[in-house]
Structures are given as structure tokens and as C-alpha cells.
Chain A
Amino acid sequence: MTFIPKPKLHHPDLQKNALGYTRRDYEGPVSTLCAGCGHDSISAAIVRACFELDIAPHRVAKLSGIGCSSKTPTYFLGASHGFNSVHGRMPSVLTGANLANKDLIYLGVSGDGDSASIGIGQFAHAMRRGVNMVYIVENNGVYGLTKGQFSATSDKGAKSKRGLINSDEAIDLVGMALQLGATFVARSFSGDKAQLVPLIEAALKHGGAAFIDCISPCVAFNNHEGSTKSFDYVREHNEAVNAMDVITPRSEITVDYAPGTVEMVTQHDGSMLRLRKLHAGYDVHDRVAALTYMQERAAAGEIVTGLLYVDPNPRDMHEHLKTVDVPLNVLDEAALIPGSAALDRLNAGLR
């Protein structure tokens, strides 16, 4: 935690994006989380991703629940819409907001307690409905705000800071998201921005339910020997299946790769994902294979990261519900109250 605000002075050569904003314009007030918290790195990655994608801050809605992770939306995108909801209820509130105004970019930020315990039902339904959102779980495997109890994503056999061994099975949010029909599923690590930033960018560009499980070490309560979510443990066991660049008009293509090692994925909105395969044979479009692979590697003690599954042509909740093209919140009185003639026609159709 820091008392003074981050000085407004910036590097004299700080770049501006297509909208004329600098990266600093996407920041929020200074974080009150513990010094070194992985969550702050994720906030910085979100800031960078939004800057690089030239996203207008007022077109973003950031929603969260309760917990360390859910405090973070205050600390980034200070000029965006925000909603800090009830514990675990971010997905429902976000679903409602999305129904009302589908034109905004929805960013849900949650934690392992918020999503894997009290809000697990909410999480599941947002995924299966295909709500067009980026759902980031800042996963530290511990209840930091209440001083370090195991959370639902703590690995079985992991040791707490007090020395207790976790005897409960961990909930695998990535596995659930895959099963429940999320159309973009990734896992990353707060200590690896080179991987995390492009994943967030790709997720923001994705037109369906995009889920990112981001391991984020808790420096206060879960960064010790015996933890499976510490900086050292994650760095040692991290197995990235691919490395990705998001090709935006701003990005330069500078490196050539050997044929067969790179796959280009064109997303629905025209953005391109350039995937450099690090594991030959891993297919990011095969949901079932992804599930199997994840479980195999988890059993071997590895933490698989990277883009795990993507459907380049996702269908979202609005398509399922066949809503009109314009956002519901801008429908005027004439559209909402079409009059008795329209009612008569409707009734006639039901006879």
C-alpha cells in the first residue's frame, strides 16, 4: 500500500494511442493492496491491453464482487464505468448490464473466493449463457483479506503459511469453463506480462464468454515454500502451450517463424491472433482434447498456461435470445410500446 498518489509526471517519450491517450490515461487511483500483490500486475496488464487496443475508456464497464481481487477495478481504467457488486454476484449484475446495453465492453474481475466459492453458481451460468464478457479470476488460492485460509482453488496437499496441509480437492475453474461452453479459455500468471497482456487483448476482442484464470501470488499469505501459487512454484511448473501476439493495426510484424509452428486465428471482429505453438500437436480449437490435456498435465504437477481453447466464431447471449440490434437501453417509447395494432397482430399469431 502507498500513501501518495502516483505522480502525474510521466516519461517525456510516452506514446499515445490512436485516440490520443497515453497508457497513463488508463490508470486509476493508486492501489491500496499489499505491496507486491500479483493483482496489481494484472491491473497493469489490463491498462496496457486497453491502451494498446485503442479502447475508449467510456466504452468499458468493469464489474466485480468482493475480495482483494474485486477491489482492483478501482485501480485501473479510472474513466470507465464501474460496479462493485455483492460477494460472488458480479456475473449476474454483469449479465443484466449486458442485456440492457450490449454495446459496452464488459470486464468482470473476480477472485477464487468470489468465483469458486460463494459465486460458483453465478460463474457457471454466465459461462453457459455465453455472456459477451472478459471474465478474469485473479487466482491466489487463499483468502487474503481474512488472513490466509485455503480457498476453493487451493491445491490438495498445498501448505498454508501456518503449516496446515490442504485436504480438500481444488476446483478447476478452467476445466469448468471449458465444460460449460466458454468460447475463449486461457490461463496465465501475473508475473508474466508478455503472456498475460496479449491474452487480455484477445479476450477483449472475443465476441463471447472469455475466461482467463490468472494465477496471482499473494505475497502476504501464499508465497511461501509448500505453496502451489507462489512466484517460485508457478515459475518452476509453468508449461505454456503457446505464445500469442494480437495483431492490431498498431503492431509491427517483425519476426518470421518456421512453417508449421505458427497458427493465425482470425476472430469474429477481424482481429488476428498469431499463435506460436510451444507444444506440437496442441489444438486450441478442440475443447475435448483441451480438457483431457489439462487433466493429464495437472496430474503430472504442471500448470498449463497460454490460450487453451478458442472458438473464432462464438455465439453470445444476445444471439441466443435473438434480441434486436440496438441496445435495449436506447429503445425509445415507440419501439417499446408499439400500440394496440401490434398487440392485436401478436394475439392473432397465437390463435
Chain B
Amino acid sequence: MQPTDIRDPDYFHKVVDCQWACPAHTPVPEYIRLIADGRYADAFMINWKSNVFPGILGRTCDRPCEPACRRGRVEDEPVAICRLKRVAADYKGDIRNRLPPKPNQRNGKKIALVGAGPASLTVARDLAPLGYHLVIYDSDPRAGGMIRSQIPKFRLPEEVIDEEVGYITDLGPEMRLGQRIDSLKSLLEEDYDAIFVGSGAPRGRDLPIPGREEAAANIHIGIDWLSSVSFGHITKIGRRVIVLGGGNTAMDCCRSSRRLGGDDVKVIVRSGFEEMKASPWEKEDAISEDIPILNFLVPKEFKHDNGKLIGMTFEKVKAEYDARGRRNLVPTGEPDHFFECDDVLVAVGQENSFPWVERDIGLEFDDRWDMPKVDEITFQSTHPKVFFGGDAAFGPKNIIWAVAHGHQAAISLHKFCQGEDVADRPPPMVNMTSQKMGIHEWSYDNDISLDLRYKVPHRDKFIALKDIKSEVELGFDEKLAFSEAQRCLNCDVQTVFDDKLCIECDACVDICPVDSISFTENGEEADLRTRLSAPATNLTQDIYVSVALKTGRVMAKDEDVCLHCGLCAERCPTGAWDMHRFLIDVAQAESACCSK
């Protein structure tokens, strides 16, 4: 193998699995260390800079970081990263004086943002301090988009939304709430220098099977229903409720139903339980609220009695896999299942909908999906003035993706308005510093905690189910937060090897608790991976290879399960190993243009 080029920022970034997996690339270990240190406000600000909504995401994030967490590969469960983020938000105190001030002067450029959801708000957060005149439109009366309309309050209290959305609206964007945009063409005719579309994926998919029309009074589209519940238009539901669908919206629907009078609520899904799209922890929470999840049942008919819904029939199926490994759901031949119910909530997916975007304004649409053509890096559409982000760009994802899109779109909007090339992306800021404080003393806590993942305390179920606004999760207290934070392996403190200092004494090989380090003859990667102290079978993780050493061998380190405990560096007699903290800040709009 070629010697590893550790000057490539991606190399060590990939080692920080959580940060690499995060769409917004939040420096997770860095803020977890600050939480352990009780510096909640500092931890919050790192999050705020990177993902804009720490308190909201600390409760609702899809957490792509957690399945990526290295801890999950050396013991049972990853660090509770998401819930630690909430800790930073819960205990930060007043941070308003750390936020950027509302600019005194505008820079003369005006941008319209369609939708007041996470994507648009992120764009606003990044661009408002630079002096842009931003105008945010939303058909809802309050800002927040799906954060406010679709996420039940027992998961995300209103105050948290108000606070974090408020930090952005305080930066001075012009809020035109309750004002729906019905024509992009006429918006383009106004005096905007650019337009950002962050209008989400607002249409819930329907289920056109027999009985749908007749029994319509008791059949509701999941996200619309959640939105009505959220804004207080709906306050009760029937006693027996069927929720169709296996995603997180379905979980929110069934748990909301339990709080609005449904005491016999069940979720029915077409797929198997394992393949459901909902996050495992959301399924768990639903089940713990006495909501059974029935699987492999395909909806066949809404049964009604003169237009009054009485129940639903389902065909029982099983999964069969064809030669190409594709799943087919085939009927088992069992008689149809019938379930009585008073209401049905349909949460079988959501989709984009752009009836307000005229097709003759120079903005091309994809023929197959009827989606606007959007550049995956710049988020620019084929109309140079129009940019997309969030669910509106590439279909339904989640908040953290919307934030990531928002940051990138903000860079593009900034560059576009300043007359620069949007395709020329600003590089990240990387900082590496040795953590050595003494002969065997480091500026991070390298003693590995053996604690297992801590559970977040929940409100008593009896009380929680009585009030739809009463938050179920209580969050970690400071003591639990400290213990959980200590589980973090500090993967951003990198093992850096200096071949010129190595005397090949084997001390690092002997001390490494996870057999990551080997000194061996070089070879092709596939071959080298089999010859290491422990075979390196996780191909998603890189091998760190040195140049040839004095004996002709190379140092080869499998990054896969390295605990970042620094013992290799403590045991190295010559300082050939050192622990360097690797901080990578993905560029944002403020550093995107030289002429800002």
C-alpha cells in the first residue's frame, strides 16, 4: 500500500465516525468533552454553529451518528450522542450574548426563502449576519415548518421550538407568515437577487383502496392530521385506531392517538417489523405505550356501514427474495384479517409537490420523478437564481439533512449574490494539535469508561398519556450526562505516527488493547488486511500505513476499533506516536467569499 497521506483532511475526518456520518459534520467528540467538563454553553454553541437546532435535534434527530459510533463496534451500544446534545441545550443557561448581532447595515442583496422550515431557517441563520435582506414566506402562521407542524409536542415541547427558531428570527429576517407562495414565476418577477426553496415534502401519500371515498370522514392523512393536532384543530380521536405505515410519522400518529382518546391503537405495516423505516427507538417507545405493531399485512379494504367506518381488511403476506435479492411480498393464502376500528390514520409516506412552480420559467424538472433538477453540491436549480434545499431538493429526509443542505445552499447563495462561481466550494478549516501535557499526561481523559449506555429517564406513563403536551423523555440529569459523556472514545484525538522516530520496539503493539497496530511487510491492501495483529475485516475503515521503516517493514494500523486511549503514545519511548486533536470545521457562508 502507499503510505497514508494524513494531510488529506478526509483521512482523519473519516476516523471520527460520528462526525463523518453527520450530514452537517458536527464535531461530536469535541462537544461531548465540553459536556463532561460542565461547559454546556460552549457545547451548545458548537452545535448551534454546526446544526442550528441543538435542543430540537437533541430530541428528534434521526441520529445517523449513532449507528456509526465506534463504541458500538467494541461493545453493545453506541454513545447516546443525540441525548447528550439535548443536555447541552437543557443546561446551557442564557447564551444570547454569544449569538451574532443583528447586522446594522444591509449589504443590498435581497433573497426570498420559501418555507420557514429547518432548511430555510438554516439559510437565514447563515446569511442574516452577513447583511442580506431575507424574506421568509410560509403558509403556516408560525415559523418552524415540519418541526412545528409534524412533531408531536410530547416529543418536542413548543418552548424549545420557539427558543431556537427565535434565535434566527431575532437576526432580522422579514417573516411573512401565513402567506403561501402560489407562483414561483411571480416571485421571480419581484426584486429578489435569489430565491431559496425550502418548502419541504408537504403531501402525505393516500391509500386509494375500496371504501376510501365512502368512509372518508374517519380516514385521515397522517401528516395533515399531526399538523391539525399540533395547531390545536383536532383534540380527539376514536377509541379504536389503526395506523397504517411503518415510518416515524406512523409512530407519531399512534402515540398521539393514545393521548387523544385512543385506547386500542395498533400499527399495521406491509413489511416485516425489522424492515420498518421507523427508528428502532421510536418503535420501542410506541410499543412501551401499549401499541402493538402487526406486520406483513397489506391493506385491502376500508369496511364501512353506510359511510361509517367499521374496520379494515388486510391480506396476510410473507417476504420472498428473488435471485437478485429483491424482496417480494407474496400472499400466504390465509383468509383475510379483519380489524375493527373507529378511525384510520394513513402514514404510508410523503411526497413533494410543486404545483406552484411553473414549468415554463427555465427551471427544468426530472421527467421520471417530477422533481426539479438540483445540483447535489451547489443546490442550484437549472434556473440560476433559484436554489433548493431540505426535502424540497431531493425528497423526504430529515431535519439534519435539511440543515446540511441549508448550509451548502447558503454558501451558494452568498457566492451567487457576490458574483462568484458557486461551483468553487470553500475548503474546511482543519486544526491539529498535540494533546501531550506531560510524559504520560494528556489534555483529554484517555481512561476508557466501561459503563454501558445509560437510558434516558421517562415520565411516568400514566401521567404522560394524559397530556399530549407533556414531554415523555425527561433528559439526562447532569450526573447521568457526565457518565454517558465519559463513554465517548474521543475519536477526534488521532494517533499520529512519525516513521523517523520509530525504533520498532513493539511497545505500542504490546499495549494496544484492541490489536490495532502491526509492524509487517507491506503488500496490497487486501493481503495486508489479513496479516495484521487482528485481521482487518471492516473494509469501511482505513488502514494507516507508514513508509518503510529501518527493518524494511511498515507500521500498519487498522483504524476500525482503535479506542483512542493513547496508550501507544504513552508507551512509545521515542514519541513516534503522538495524540493530536483533529478539529475540522466544514466551511459555512461566512467564510465562503473573499470579498465579504
Contact = CB atoms under 8 A, between A and B. Distances in A.
Interface of A: 1-14, 24, 30, 34-38, 40-41, 43-44, 190-191, 193, 217, 219-220, 223, 231-232, 235
B541 interface: no
- Which has the most chain B C-beta neighbours within 10 Å: A4, A34, A40? A4
- Closest 6 A-B residue pairs measured CB to CB? A36-B573, A7-B448, A44-B510, A219-B573, A4-B447, A36-B507
A30 to B, nearest CB: 8
A36 to B, nearest CB: 3
B567 A193 contact: no
A9 B563 contact: yes
B504 A191 contact: yes
Interface in B273-321: none
Nearest to A1: B440
B573 A35 contact: yes
A13 B450 contact: no
Given A10-B513, A35-B573, A4 B565 contact: yes
B534 interface: yes
Nearest to A193: B506
B448 A2 contact: no
Contacts of A217: 505
Interface of B: 73-75, 439-441, 446-448, 450, 503-507, 509-511, 513-516, 534-535, 537, 550-551, 561, 563, 565, 567, 570-574
B561 A35 contact: no
Given A10-B515, A12-B73, A14-B515, 18 more contacts: A2-B571, A3-B441, A4-B447, A4-B567, A7-B450, A8-B513, A11-B74, A12-B561, A13-B535, A13-B537, A35-B570, A37-B573, A44-B506, A190-B505, A193-B506, A219-B573, A220-B573, A231-B505
A191 to B, nearest CB: 6
A282 B450 CA distance: 52
Nearest to B571: A35
Contacts of B550: 232, 235
Given A36-B571, A231-B505, A9 B537 contact: no
A51 to B, nearest CB: 13
A40 B511 CA distance: 9
A30 B571 CA distance: 11
Given A14-B534, A34-B573, A35-B570, A9 B446 contact: no
B443 to A, nearest CB: 14
27 contacts: A2-B570, A4-B446, A4-B447, A7-B513, A7-B563, A9-B74, A9-B563, A11-B561, A14-B534, A35-B440, A35-B571, A35-B572, A35-B573, A36-B503, A36-B571, A36-B573, A37-B573, A40-B511, A44-B506, A190-B505, A191-B504, A191-B505, A191-B506, A231-B503, A231-B505, A232-B550, A235-B551
Contacts of B537: 13
B571 A9 contact: no
B493 to A, nearest CB: 14
Contacts of A9: 74-75, 448, 450, 513-514, 563
Contacts of B574: 36
A219 to B, nearest CB: 4
B507 A12 contact: no
A251 to B, nearest CB: 17
A7 B572 CA distance: 17
A290 to B, nearest CB: 27
Nearest to B565: A7
Contact of A231 (B504, B570, B571): B504
A24 B511 CA distance: 11
A43 to B, nearest CB: 8
A130 B73 CA distance: 49
A191 B74 CA distance: 29
B504 to A, nearest CB: 6
B567 A40 contact: no
Contacts of A3: 440-441
A12 B511 CA distance: 17
Contacts of A223: 503
Nearest to A41: B506
Contacts of A44: 506, 509-510
B510 A41 contact: yes
A190 B571 CA distance: 15
Nearest to A217: B505
Contacts of A232: 503, 550
Contacts of A40: 507, 510-511, 571
Nearest to B450: A8
Given A13-B534, A34-B573, A35-B573, A6 B513 contact: yes
A344 to B, nearest CB: 61
Nearest to A236: B550
A213 B52 CA distance: 64
B367 to A, nearest CB: 47
Given A9-B75, A9-B448, A223-B503, A2 B567 contact: yes
Nearest to A24: B513
B69 to A, nearest CB: 14
Contacts of A35: 440, 507, 570-573
Contacts of B551: 235
Contacts of B448: 4, 7, 9
Contacts of B504: 191, 231
B513 to A, nearest CB: 5
A2 B573 contact: no
Nearest to B503: A231
Contacts of A7: 447-448, 450, 513, 563, 565
Contacts of B505: 36, 38, 41, 190-191, 217, 219, 231
Nearest to A48: B510
A217 B534 CA distance: 26
Nearest to B576: A36
Contacts of B511: 2, 6, 30, 40
A126 B20 CA distance: 61
